[in-house]
Amino acid sequence: MDLAGAVAALLDGRFDDLLGLEESVWLDAKGGIYELDNPAKAEELVKDVAAFANTATGGLLVVGIGTQVEHGQEILAHLKPVPRGRVDLDRHRKLIRERITPPPRGVEVDWIPVDDESGVLLIHVPAQLPGRLPHLVAAPTRGAQGHPDSVAVPVREGDGTVWLPRTEVQRLLAAGWTATGGPSHEVLAEIAAQAASAAVQQKASAVVPIAPGEGMPSAQRRWAAAYEALGGEKVLGTADGRIYAEGPGLVQHFAGTGTGRGWVLCELSGRPVVAVPEGVWEAMRLEGSGALGGDSFAALGFPDPGAVEAGAAPALVDGAAGEVRLINGSWGPGRLVRRGDGAAWQWEPQLQFSSESTRAGRNWTSQVAAPQLRLRVIATLPWADARTFEVEQVERRKLLGGLGASQLSQYLGVLAMHHGSDFWMPKWDAGQLPGSRNSFSYAAVLTGADGRTALSGEVFLALPNSADSSVVTCAEVKVGERDAWDQLVRADGQPGSEPKERLTLEDLYEFTVAALEMATEELPGSLSTGASQRRWSSVPTAEIRLTAEYPHDHSGPRRPVADFIDFSAFGAPAGREFTEMAVTVVAPPVLQGETRRAVARQALVRMGRDFGFLDADESAF
């Protein structure tokens, strides 16, 4: 597809036609909007447009399509619509017209709706007349006050935009100077006189630096006080632009001092001002860029100042530390973490528990022969680019080969032995889902003497579909038909042991630990390389669900979960007993061993209390 074809496809709303294209000298895609209230972002817009104007072909900027790296190349990967209310088309046009010299001709700035509230911004820059090249923009200033006549030349290099080196600018200028003979001495003298006069006038009417909090009178006094308390100009430098609203609060950028990078001041309503290193702020923007709507800070929130009342001493985020706690985002409390010098920052949710069931909680439960008891952990992993994933055949085979040694497989063998059977070595084979590039499942089954299922385990993985944009994984154990299980637990087992029909609380705990590891770490490992490092589009969850089931012909009453699991270590239940029990965990998917065990204990205690075992606590394990 060429430039004209890409523009036509976008104008027709055929977004999928662009997916799979590489960014190039004529194509650039952005997953989030240009924040034009931020001077640096306004500079970025005009730089990007001028660079396309300086090519022989022109170019296309698409805001609302996300990319991913494949073999070192940025590929347009998935539609990522941006909010219509945050895109001012006229303001984009005005900036392009006023800040590029000469203004490029025929630039189209159009909005292509995806739904009533979001869409894609298209900026088409046609090829320009050679006699109007090059197109110049003001030299980058990081928002500081620069000379009005300073200029720079942005150009496309491969799939990126760079500045034309000063040596090349001088060479082109020299060639033109020689070709035209250059300006006469009289003209040069007149230019020098005008420049001197302008310098005198500029000095006499020097522009007043932008003040901390300028642009919002109600904030200016406290921001000025916070600015001074944090070291003022010696530490933060001068303001790059006026204060503006972003995400859950207020933001203003500062240039920093010397060779150091800049700072960002931010504030949540009723909380102290926080100073954040520019590098940390940009890492937050990147980590939240996969959020629906593309508003990173609305999703992640702002750094926690650690104080409750406004007017308290401002806080300063240590950029060298490995953790920044975040609050007031739509994703809930979380943190930005960096494990080791030079490592990338990553967002993680703070551990939370909920009694709210997940959308995927009942996936894959419609088999004809319902088990007596189903124990499951089902994980919802909403990676921003999940629709680009594939199940890697090599990795899937590696997973199958390793299932026999997994913690879940060992759990099944020990569970059978504890309940009267000999130790079982589970053999894993194809499960309910057919193996494909989008899904798979594997199962291990222990049958009684009559061939009916007494105990089984199964693992599932499914990539996004039309109904769900997340990767969903599941690890479950099922106690089979009543007669087959009864037959198993009454068989000759270990000498001197009494067969137990009901699972113990310890059985439930060990299942939860093993299934969490399988659903959140081992199964996602079969996906495209690097999936664990991708950005989130919302919060990952893992639901622990216990269900007492019954045959689908509804014969016989449905029994409570407590008929199959001995909860006596949690004390006596208050109120009725339930046929289903569940708890949803919000936590980083990848957990260290002891941390995972602690999360499992806390989750089961929370579930017990939610379902009537009010005396439940971790001492039961």
534's CB contacts (< 8 A; 6+ apart) are 290, 383, 384, 385, 386
pLDDT of residue 471: 93
Do 522 and 445 lie in one domain? The reply is: yes
> Which tokens belong to 374?
């189903």
d(CA 522, CA 415): 21
In a domain, 169, yes or no: no
Q: Which of 302, 322, 345 is the last residue of a domain?
A: 345
Q: Look at 294 and 5; give whichever has higher pLDDT.
A: 5
In a domain, 179, yes or no: no
In a domain, 176, yes or no: no
Do 425 and 503 lie in one domain? The reply is: yes
In a domain, 171, yes or no: no
Residues of the chain with pLDDT > 70: what percent? 85
Average pLDDT over residues 228-242: 89
463's CB contacts (< 8 A; 6+ apart) are 386, 387, 389, 390, 391, 437, 438, 439, 471, 527
Do 405 and 480 lie in one domain? The reply is: yes
Average pLDDT over residues 603-621: 94
Do 314 and 378 lie in one domain? The reply is: no
Do 462 and 380 lie in one domain? The reply is: yes
pTM above 0.75, yes or no: no
Cβ-based burial of 234 (10 A; exposed 0-12, middle 13-18, buried ≥19): exposed
pLDDT of residue 368: 64
Do 279 and 381 lie in one domain? The reply is: no
Band (pLDDT 50/70/90 cuts) for residue 570 is: very high
Quote the mean pLDDT of the chain.
Answer: 84
Among 98-112, 115-129, 375-389, 420-434, the range scoring the smallest mean pLDDT is 420-434
Band (pLDDT 50/70/90 cuts) for residue 240 is: confident
Do 361 and 339 lie in one domain? The reply is: no
* Phi-psi region at 509: left, alpha or beta (left = phi > 0; alpha = psi -120 to 50): alpha
pLDDT in tens, 329-355: 999 999 999 887 777 889 999 999 999
Cβ-based burial of 545 (10 A; exposed 0-12, middle 13-18, buried ≥19): buried
d(CA 605, CA 617): 6
Q: Which of 137, 164, 191 is the last residue of a domain?
A: 164
In a domain, 262, yes or no: yes
Band (pLDDT 50/70/90 cuts) for residue 418 is: confident
pLDDT of residue 555: 60
Count CB-CB contacts under 10 A for residue 477: 25
Count CB-CB contacts under 10 A for residue 129: 9
- Find the angle CA(96)-CA(126)-CA(150) to the nearest 5 degrees: 40
pLDDT in tens, 89-114: 888 988 998 888 888 888 889 999 99
d(CA 529, CA 533): 9
Do 147 and 127 lie in one domain? The reply is: yes
Do 77 and 33 lie in one domain? The reply is: yes
Q: Which of 285, 314, 345 is the last residue of a domain?
A: 345
Peptide bond into 524 cis (omega under 30): no
d(CA 456, CA 371): 10
Q: Look at 105 and 554; give whichever has higher pLDDT.
A: 105
d(CA 557, CA 73): 59
pLDDT of residue 499: 47
Look at residue 311 and tell me whether its pLDDT is greater than 70. Answer: no
Residues of the chain with pLDDT > 90: what percent? 37
Do 609 and 503 lie in one domain? The reply is: yes
Count CB-CB contacts under 10 A for residue 364: 19
Q: Which domain holds residue 251?
A: 217-345
d(CA 504, CA 620): 11
Do 333 and 397 lie in one domain? The reply is: no
Look at residue 490 and tell me whether its pLDDT is greater than 70. Answer: no
Average pLDDT over residues 457-481: 88
- DSSP-H helix ranges across 266-406: 278-287, 296-300, 393-403
Band (pLDDT 50/70/90 cuts) for residue 496 is: very low
In a domain, 210, yes or no: no
Which range scores top for mean pLDDT: 138-152, 172-186, 394-408? 394-408
In a domain, 170, yes or no: no
Q: Look at 399 and 449; give whichever has higher pLDDT.
A: 399
pLDDT of residue 302: 96
Look at residue 458 and tell me whether its pLDDT is greater than 60. Answer: yes
Look at residue 509 and tell me whether its pLDDT is greater than 90. Answer: yes
pLDDT of residue 432: 86
Average pLDDT over residues 133-161: 73
Domains in the chain: how many in total?
A: 3
pLDDT of residue 194: 61
Q: Where are the beta strands (DSSP E) in 129-288?
A: 136-138, 151-152, 154-157, 160-163, 244-246, 249-254, 263-268, 274-277
CATH of the domain at 52: 3.30.950.30
pLDDT of residue 461: 94
DSSP 349: E
Average pLDDT over residues 532-560: 79
Do 45 and 147 lie in one domain? The reply is: yes
What is the DSSP code string of 457-504? EEEEEE--BTTB-SEEEEEEEEE--HHHHHHHHTS--STTPPP-SSBP
In a domain, 207, yes or no: no
Tokens 């997973």, residue? 399
